[in-house]
Structure formats: C-alpha cells, structure tokens
Amino acid sequence: MSLIPIKTPAEIDKMRAAGRAAAIVLDRLTKLVAPGITTGEVDLAAADFMAELGCKSAFLGYHKFPGQTCISVNEEVVHGIGGPRRLAYGDIVKIDCGVVLDGWIGDTATTVACGVVDPETERLCTATKQILEGAIPFAVAGRRLGDLCNYIETEALRQKLGVVREFVGHGVGRKLHEEPQIPNYGRRGSGPKLKAGMTLAVEPMINLGGEGVRILEDKWTVVTTDGKPSAHFEHTILVTENEPEVLTCMPLIA
C-alpha cells in the first residue's frame, strides 16, 4: 500500500485555508436550495462563490467530470451533475464541494432538505450527520483506521440503515484522492495506524433502504438500486495527537 502523506505545519496551514474556503462555498450553496431552483443554477453559483474566494473547483475536469460540484437529489447518492432538474418541495439535496486554493484541496459535503421532508427521510439525514460527528473523534494518532470505519458501519446498521460500500472516503491534500481509502465499514483494530499530520476526507454515504447502488448512463450519477433516498455528509479532518481538527468547519466570520 502507498504511504499516507504527512503534512508539515506549513502545509497544514494551507489545508486550513482550503478547508475554510470549501466550507464557505458549501454554506452559501445550501442557502440557495429552494423549490424551483435548478441543480444547474446551484452549480453555476458555486463557480461564482469560488472565484470570489480566489479558489477553483477540485471536481471540474477531474476524470472529465463536467460540474463545479456534485449535486445529488433523493435516491441519487453521490456524483450527481447539475442540470435542468428543478428542485421540488420535500426533496433532499446532497451538495459535495471540493476546492483548490494555493495548490491544496478542501473537500466537504452536506445534505439539505428542500422544505419539509417525510419523517423517515429526516431520520436518515439526522442519523447520517450524527454518524459523521461520532466518527470524527476516532481520527487521532495511534488509533487504527478500521476503528473509525467500523464505527460508521456499526451505527448505521444499528439504526437499520444501508451502508454504501462501492464508494469510500479518502486521504486528501495536494491531490483530491490520496491514500488511505476510508470505507464506511471495517473491522476494529484493522487498517493503518493513524499519525499526526494525516488529512482525511471522512464521508458516510448512508441509504434509507438497502446498501445496493448503481451508476446511471451519464457514467457519473450513483443511485440506490431500490430507489430509496440516500444521505451524504463529509468533512476534511486533520489527525492530531489530541482532538482531531475539522478543517472544513464554517469559520466564525464568513
């Protein structure tokens, strides 16, 4: 397995700046979600917000991906492409935002309700967000990566939710995808030992129904095979000797 990059203090400062920028862009995009707006309009706004902050999309052109962000609605899990689809009241919208600032990447995602959603979908979104929050404390030096992965899987299954297995979290830094891969399932005590200076994109992708997914004809958009909704939350995390640092939290003043 390839070595997991360890960032220097100067590089971590660059990652902090990129993470802040990604968080600000994502926060602004979530405020646009409303019935009637198209996913394409949200994606175009992302380009404007990134330009304002002096960064650019980490996704546009990546393996020929055509969007500034990934926008996935309802049963779409990840990698949705912004277009003419108009959001409807009761939809859930996953926005995945990656930016490049000064050569470093911040990667973050959230799931937003368009109006009021049904109780089971709300339960899914709340649970997935809480699972991410509960996984973050495992990202400390000396722990095994499998401990974090196992926590996500265990919590999702405990709440009778499906864990997406074909798509995973990842290391992030100068490249969008670095070592290690971070699946949302695993065995406690397995995987590489975490070290201070590692930066990890942890991103639970959890389904209300089964774990099965498939890719649409656009060769990007991932959907649940049973048509039930999926939720997705992501933060870029810095591993430290003490408490992990979330690099993609919103700054106090944006």
Per residue in 17-30, pLDDT (tens digit) is: 999 999 999 999 99
DSSP symbol at 58: S
- Condensed to tens digits (0 to 9), the pLDDT of residues 75-121 reads 999 999 999 999 999 999 999 999 999 999 999 999 999 999 999 99
Is the previous residue joined to 183 through a cis bond, with omega within 30 degrees of 0?
no
Q: What is the mean pLDDT of the chain?
A: 97
Give the separation between CA 203 and CA 40, rounded to whole angstroms.
Answer: 23
What pLDDT does 250 receive?
Answer: 82
Give the separation between CA 150 and CA 137, rounded to whole angstroms.
Answer: 13
Is 180 within 8 Å of 191 (Cβ atoms)?
Answer: yes
- Condensed to tens digits (0 to 9), the pLDDT of residues 194-251 reads 999 999 999 999 999 999 999 999 999 999 999 999 999 999 999 999 999 999 998 7
**Alpha-helix residue ranges (DSSP H) falling in the chain:** 9-30, 39-52, 119-135, 145-158
Judge whether residue 254 has pLDDT over 70. no
Per-residue confidence band for 253, with pLDDT thresholds at 50, 70 and 90: low
| Superfamily of structural domain 9-246 | Creatinase/methionine aminopeptidase superfamily (3.90.230.10)
Position of tokens 């992965």?
149
Q: Where are the beta strands (DSSP E) in the chain?
A: 56-57, 70-73, 76-78, 92-101, 104-113, 162-163, 169-171, 178-182, 199-202, 205-207, 213-215, 222-224, 230-232, 235-238, 245-246
- Condensed to tens digits (0 to 9), the pLDDT of residues 143-193 reads 999 999 999 999 999 999 999 999 999 999 999 999 999 999 999 999 999
Provide the percentage of residues in the chain whose pLDDT is more than 90.
97
Judge whether residue 252 has pLDDT over 80. no
Q: How long a stretch of residues is the chain?
A: 254
User: Any idea where the domains of the chain sit in the sequence?
Assistant: 9-246
What pLDDT does 251 receive?
Answer: 76
